[in-house]
Amino acid sequence: MGQRLQQLWQRYKSVLAYLFFGGLTTVVNYLVFWIFNLFCSYLIANTVAWLLSVLFAYITNKLWVFEAKTPTWRARLKEAGSFFGFRLLSYFVDQGIMIVGISFLHGNALIVKLIDQILIVVMNWFFSKLFIFKNRES
């Protein structure tokens, strides 16, 4: 039984870590959005929330989710550029969902943000797993 649990942990470790840290990233994003939305427009609040949560996500994804080892500064810069580049893509999707949900559909900002974050977390996992923190030798 212990051997089987260890095999399952090794097999799904990155997914479980991503769910945990993705959840924390979502909490960071949601709380920052909620606070800034009290005194800023939802678009500005969403941008600040995105910036802070992406910084948090980069650090946690690199260190604990994908355990990415980047041997050179050049590789690290490429990795960080790739991470922020793909997250910039998700930022535009994020803003689009918020604009449609709040401005066009007149939804509650916090409910739209919650739905938005579920979609963004899934999208970002695929970007991270397939393109950013893939196993590399150099």
60 with 25: CB under 8 angstroms? yes
Q: Calculate the CA 106 to chain-centre distance.
A: 26
* pLDDT by 10-residue block (mean), the chain, 138 residues: 77 80 91 97 97 90 74 83 85 96 96 92 74 55
Instruction: Quote the strand ranges of the chain, DSSP E.
Output: none
Say how far apart CA 81 and CA 103 lie, in whole Å: 32
Domain boundaries, the chain: 2-132
Token pair of 14, please?
């990155």
Would you call 39 helix, strand, or coil by DSSP? Answer: coil
Q: For residue 19, how many other CB atoms are within 10 A of its CB?
A: 14
Do the beta carbons of residue 105 and residue 50 sit within 8 Å? no
Q: Find, among 97, 103, 100, 102, the residue nearest to 116 by Cα.
A: 97
pLDDT of residue 137: 45
The pLDDT value recorded for residue 58 is 86
